[in-house]
């Protein structure tokens, strides 16, 4: 990686040849972080020279020289997606996709949204309005990121796991996934759920509490349906005053009824 130029790194990230994290059945949680990629992205920020970018006179902005916006119209990846019959849909209205973001064929992005450097977005995924996909986040295929979803980024320290959302996951409006949370395949996160790497997830079905740490962030099980809930705060004062804390709760695992509801959302894209 050290002999690669910044433009080489961005090109490889754009095309999906390199990723900040990739599936690996032998790694914890089934994902292996590529610290060298994260370090290379950090290197792009080290050059603080800025320039004015002029996109045909229609859009102007000023940013770091090494961090251009992604070519969404005439890049090799855009042409390949078009040739495959699954072109990107990037609806106008304030969306920005930075260079070094991989977009698979069939990705749809509604405005305004922001996707930061190093992110990876799988085939057929919907990025809805007011969504933030942070640096190095890994989003699988056929995922729905509903309106105002926040996906946290990670670059420092290099090697820490980014937020990962596997295939066919549904993330409800105004939810937030932060600090390296891993959401396994087919899970459904209801509107308004906030999960950090060190959150507790109360599984009512299995009768267990799933806990994440900084070294091993929270893993949401495959097919879990997670909703916002409340748990009793500990201590005499909290109990006497009826104080509760927000909690994420697994109320069931995905079934035909859940699939039908998610299919309706798919049909409305």
- What is the distance between the terminal CA atoms of the chain, rounded to a whole angstrom? 39
More confident: 203 or 65: 203
Question: Which CATH class for the 6-167 domain?
Answer: mainly beta
Residue 156 is encoded by which pair of tokens? Answer: 């420092």
Task: Please state, in angstroms and rounded to a whole number, the distance separating the CA atoms of residues 234 and 117.
Answer: 41
- Span 218-254, pLDDT tens digits: 999 999 999 999 999 999 999 999 999 999 999 999 9
Residue 118 near residue 146, CB atoms below 8 Å: no
**pLDDT reported for residue 24:** 96
Please report, rounded to a whole number, the percentage of residues in the chain having pLDDT higher than 70. Answer: 94
Instruction: Using the predicted structure, report yes or no on whether residue 269 has a pLDDT greater than 60.
Output: no
Residue 225 near residue 188, CB atoms below 8 Å: yes
To the nearest 10 degrees (0 to 180), the angle between helices 76-83 and 6-15 is: 10
> Phi and psi of 80, rounded to 5°?
-65, -40
On average, the pLDDT of the chain sits at: 91
Largest distance between two CA atoms of the chain: 65
Mean pLDDT of all residues in 205-216: 95
**pLDDT reported for residue 35:** 93
Highest mean predicted confidence (pLDDT) among 3-7, 184-188, 259-263: 184-188
Half-sphere CA count of 26, side-chain side, radius 13 A: 0
Residue 208 near residue 201, CB atoms below 8 Å: no
**pLDDT reported for residue 236:** 93
Instruction: Using the predicted structure, report yes or no on whether residue 265 has a pLDDT greater than 80.
Output: no
- Span 61-117, pLDDT tens digits: 888 888 888 988 888 899 999 999 999 999 988 899 999 999 999 999 999 999 999
Mean pLDDT of all residues in 204-220: 95
**pLDDT reported for residue 2:** 60
Half-sphere CA count of 110, side-chain side, radius 13 A: 14
Which range has the worst mean pLDDT, 149-163, 195-209, 251-265? 251-265
Please report, rounded to a whole number, the percentage of residues in the chain having pLDDT higher than 90. Answer: 73
**pLDDT reported for residue 205:** 97
Task: Please state, in angstroms and rounded to a whole number, the distance separating the CA atoms of residues 57 and 34.
Answer: 38
Q: In which element (H, E) is residue 200 found?
A: strand 200-203
59-66 LR contacts (CB < 8 Å, sep 24+): 66/6, 66/10
> Phi and psi of 152, rounded to 5°?
-65, 155
Confidence of residue 6 (pLDDT cuts 50, 70, 90): confident
Instruction: Using the predicted structure, report yes or no on whether residue 266 has a pLDDT greater than 80.
Output: no
Instruction: Using the predicted structure, report yes or no on whether residue 189 has a pLDDT greater than 80.
Output: yes
């Amino acid at each position: 990686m050290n002999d690669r130029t910044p433009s080489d790194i961005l090109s490889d990230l754009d095309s999906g040849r390199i990723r900040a994290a990739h599936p690996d059945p032998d790694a914890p949680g089934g994902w292996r972080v590529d610290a060298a990629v994260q370090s290379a992205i950090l290197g792009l920020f080290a050059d603080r020279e800025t320039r004015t970018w002029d996109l045909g006179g229609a859009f102007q902005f000023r940013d770091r020289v090494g961090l251009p916006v992604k070519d969404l119209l005439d890049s090799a990846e855009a042409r390949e997606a078009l040739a495959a019959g699954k072109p990107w849909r990037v609806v106008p209205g304030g969306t920005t996709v930075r260079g070094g973001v991989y977009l698979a064929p069939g990705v749809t992005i509604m405005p305004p949204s922001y996707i930061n450097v190093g992110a990876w977005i799988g085939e057929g995924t919907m990025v809805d309005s007011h969504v933030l996909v942070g640096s190095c986040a890994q989003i699988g295929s056929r995922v729905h990121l509903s309106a105002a979803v926040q996906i946290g980024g990670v670059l420092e320290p290099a090697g820490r796991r980014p937020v990962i959302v596997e295939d066919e996951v549904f993330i409800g409006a105004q939810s937030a996934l932060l600090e390296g949370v891993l959401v396994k395949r087919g899970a459904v996160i209801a509107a308004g759920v906030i999960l950090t790497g060190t959150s507790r997830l109360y599984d009512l079905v299995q009768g267990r509490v799933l806990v994440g740490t900084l070294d091993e962030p929270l893993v949401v099980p495959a097919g879990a349906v997670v909703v916002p809930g409340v748990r009793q705060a500990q201590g005499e004062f909290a109990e006497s005053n009826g104080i509760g804390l927000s909690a994420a709760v697994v109320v069931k695992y995905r079934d035909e009824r859940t699939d039908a509801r998610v299919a309706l959302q798919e049909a409305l894209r």
